Each structure stands twice: as C-alpha cells, then as structure tokens.
C-alpha cells in the first residue's frame, strides 16, 4: 500500500513522497542508547528542562515516559518561557549547578544558530542522527529539528458560532475586542511567526517583507479595536476575554481537547496564509547534568519519543523514517490534523533571521508598546 508522507522542505510547500511496502521491509528498528550513557545519566540523577508546557506537543506524557523509563527526576523550569527567555536562562546561570540552570532547550529554528554563535550550546549527535533531515540540523550537532506545526487560530464557538476563516475575515467589526496574540513577538517564536503569517496573507514574501506587512496588519487590527491587549490562552478563550487567538495548530488542538467541549472550540488554519514552523533541541554548554541531557535527547529522537510528539499533534523530525518502517500506530495517524497541500510555507533560516531583526526594530514603535 502506498503511504503519503510530508517532509520538512524548508522554504517551499510541503513535498509529497510515496513509500512502498518494499521500503518498509528494508528498514530496521533503532538501537537503544549506550548503557554507559544511561549509567552516567542515572548517576547525575536529574534533568532540568525549561519552557515545556505539558499540553505542548504532548510533553506531559513525553516527560512522564522518560522518567518511567530511566528513573531520573525532571526539574521543570518556567513552562511558559519563550525562546529568547530560554537563552537568557542559560546566560544567567553560567557556573551555577543549582536547580535554576537548564540542561536543555527547545527553541524556534532561528534561535539555534544564535545560541551556537553565543557559545550557549554544546554539540551532541543522537544515535538516530542520520534520519533527521539535513535542512533542519546543524552539521556539527549543536542543534537539530524536533517537530513542526502550522499556524492557526482558535475560536470560542459559544461567542462566534460561525468561525472566521481567514486573516481578512478577522478585520470584520463583529470581531471587536476579540482577537489576541499568544505573547510578545520580540521574545516568543510562535508570536513572531503569527505576524509573518499575517504578512503572507497580505501578499508579503517570507522574511522581512512579510514581517513588516504583518506588523501593518496587526497595527490596523489594533486601530480598528479588534485586537485585544491580552495574551491569548485557554483560560481567556473559555472566559471570552480572548475568544479568538493565534498559536500553533498542535497547541490549539491540545487546548480544545483539554476544554472537553466547554466551550466548543474550532481550530482554523487561515485560508489566506499558511505557515509552518520548526523548533529545535539543544544541550546547554553549561548543563549541570550533561549526561542526563544527552539521554533526554536520545529519548526524544527514539521512536518512542517521536511518536510521543506525534500524539500531541506535532509532526516530528523523523516522521518519514517512522512511516517508512511502519511503526506509527494507525489511531495516532487518524487524529492528525490535515496539512494543506501546495500552500504551506516554511520560512528559511535566513528569512527568519531577517524577520527577527525587523520585529526587534519596528514592533514597539509601530504598535505603540514598550
């Protein structure tokens, strides 16, 4: 049977790959981590993470699986931190071996090279390294793609029974005091990517052009009274404070599931702007528990860890390899949201860097914020 797979393909629409049963038969299972690494990690006894909300990509179950498998304690710092906050946490704890020093980070793609340039991360190649696409990993192993999602928005159906379908729709006066961003685009990757997506919907080209058009869009939305000056969240959506808010599709779907129909939530991928974003993993150069950090990476990039992310609606880096070997449960595949064909844009690393510079230079002045 032919299976349709979607790969990263940064900067272009998602390519489609057909995999035959012969391909599946030719592949083999992935090996477990070296016992010496497992023993060294257990001797350290602890792993310190940061910015891993339990409803983000199924991290709650992933962390629980890691603890159950290896018996380590996981110290979880600031689950709501943004990518920039994660780098600052490493900088602030150089030389500190206490509980506030993160061992590992999970950040937006553009923050990986930045962290390497600043000497904040160390190289490590997991045993499944060869199955991670080359275009989402540092060749020396300093950072590597973990998963991707598509930008969308959630709608409280109790407030708006008929959901808007596009960025253009959100300009309608009936959405006054209703639309929210998930945070500050200068520090949070998902919010910056939301601004870029809005710019794509205005005809912008990926990178600074789309970013500036996106700022213009949200400036106009604010002037019209539709943009709420409060961060979007599950609680705020349920209460009606932010009945429409942007985030990655996997976060919105997890939020929808968590609310259990109270209220009913619609998750919409905007018809006029479809953008996917890749996140990356890395180990702190100053990790107090370097072996635990390496074992964590081995777990995340094992079949078990990758499928854990997939259960949380995130497409993992090794998705093609998992599918080719036929190890993804069918019930997990059946729950995945549809990926738009021929419209999804993956901004390149260079385009994201240009956007980061532009958001830092223009967001505050254009939006009238500090």
Structural domains of the chain, ranges and CATH numbers in brackets: 3-10+28-148+277-335 (3.40.190.10), 150-276+345-367 (3.40.190.10)
Buried b (16+ CB within 10 A) or exposed e, 36-53: ebbebbeebeebbbbbbe
Which among 85, 74, 224, 246 is positioned nearest to 155, based on CA atoms? 246
In whole angstroms, how far apart are CA 342 and each of 41, 275, 345, 346?
Answer: 44, 11, 9, 12
Q: Which of 314, 327, 244 is nearest to 277 (CA)?
A: 314
At residue 17, the 3 state secondary structure works out as strand
Give residues with Cβ within 8 angstroms of 326, minimum separation 6. 24
pLDDT of residue 30: 60
Specify the pLDDT at position 2. 26
pLDDT at 335: 86
d(CA 42, CA 45): 5
Strand ranges, E, within 158-309: 179-180, 244-248, 265-268, 276-284
* pLDDT tens-digit profile, the chain (370 residues): 222 333 444 433 333 323 333 333 333 446 689 999 999 999 999 999 999 999 999 999 999 999 999 999 999 999 999 999 999 999 999 999 999 999 999 999 999 999 999 999 999 999 999 999 998 999 999 999 999 999 999 999 999 999 999 999 999 999 999 999 999 999 999 999 999 999 999 999 999 999 999 999 999 999 999 999 999 999 999 999 999 999 999 999 999 999 999 999 999 999 999 999 999 999 999 999 999 999 999 999 999 999 999 999 999 999 999 999 999 999 998 888 765 666 789 898 899 999 999 999 999 999 998 7
3-state secondary structure of 309: helix
Which bin fits 22, alpha (ψ -120 to 50), beta or left (φ > 0)?
alpha
Q: Which two tokens stand for residue 199?
A: 């710019």
CA 119 – CA 247 distance, rounded (Å): 30
Cα–Cα distance between 230 and 304 in angstroms, integer?
37
**DSSP element (H, E) containing 155:** strand 144-156
Task: State CA 316 to chain mean position distance.
Answer: 10
* Overall residue count recorded for the chain in this entry: 370
For the whole model, what pTM was predicted?
0.84
Which parts of 210-349 are beta strand (E)? Answer: 244-248, 265-268, 276-284, 315-316
Of 84, 72, 77, nearest to 50 (Cα)? 77
């Amino acid at each position: 049977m032919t299976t349709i797979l979607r790969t990263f393909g940064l900067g272009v629409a998602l390519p489609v790959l057909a995999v035959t049963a012969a391909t599946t038969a030719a592949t083999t299972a992935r090996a477990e981590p070296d016992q010496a690494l497992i023993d060294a990690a257990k001797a350290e006894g602890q792993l310190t993470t940061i910015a891993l909300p339990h409803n983000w990509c199924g991290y709650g179950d992933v962390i629980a699986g890691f603890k159950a498998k290896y018996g380590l304690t996981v110290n979880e710092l600031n689950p709501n931190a943004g990518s920039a906050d994660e780098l600052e946490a490493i900088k602030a704890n150089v030389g500190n071996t206490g509980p506030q020093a993160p061992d590992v980070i999970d950040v937006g793609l553009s923050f990986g090279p930045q962290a390497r340039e600043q000497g904040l991360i160390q190289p490590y190649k997991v045993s499944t390294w060869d199955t991670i696409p080359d275009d989402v990993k540092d060749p020396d192993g300093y950072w590597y793609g973990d998963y991707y999602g598509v930008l969308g928005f959630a709608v409280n159906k109790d407030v708006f029974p008929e959901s808007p379908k596009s960025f253009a729709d959100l300009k309608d006066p009936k959405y006054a005091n209703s639309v929210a961003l998930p945070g500050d685009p200068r520090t949070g990757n998902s919010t910056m990517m939301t601004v870029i997506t809005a710019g794509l919907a205005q005809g912008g080209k990926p990178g600074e052009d789309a970013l500036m058009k996106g700022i213009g869009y949200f400036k106009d939305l604010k002037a019209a009274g539709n943009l709420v000056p409060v961060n979007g969240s599950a609680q705020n959506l349920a209460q009606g404070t932010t009945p429409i808010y942007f985030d990655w599709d996997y976060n919105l779907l997890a939020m929808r599931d968590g609310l259990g129909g109270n209220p009913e939530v619609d998750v919409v991928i905007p018809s006029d702007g479809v953008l996917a974003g890749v996140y990356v993993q890395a180990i702190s150069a100053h990790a107090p528990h370097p072996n635990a950090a390496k074992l964590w990476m081995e777990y995340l990039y094992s079949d078990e860890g990758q499928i854990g992310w997939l259960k949380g609606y995130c497409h993992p880096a090794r998705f093609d390899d998992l599918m080719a070997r036929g190890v993804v449960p069918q019930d997990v595949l059946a729950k995945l949201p549809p990926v738009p064909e021929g419209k999804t844009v993956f901004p390149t690393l260079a385009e994201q860097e240009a956007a980061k510079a532009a958001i830092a230079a223009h967001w505050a002045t254009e939006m009238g914020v500090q």
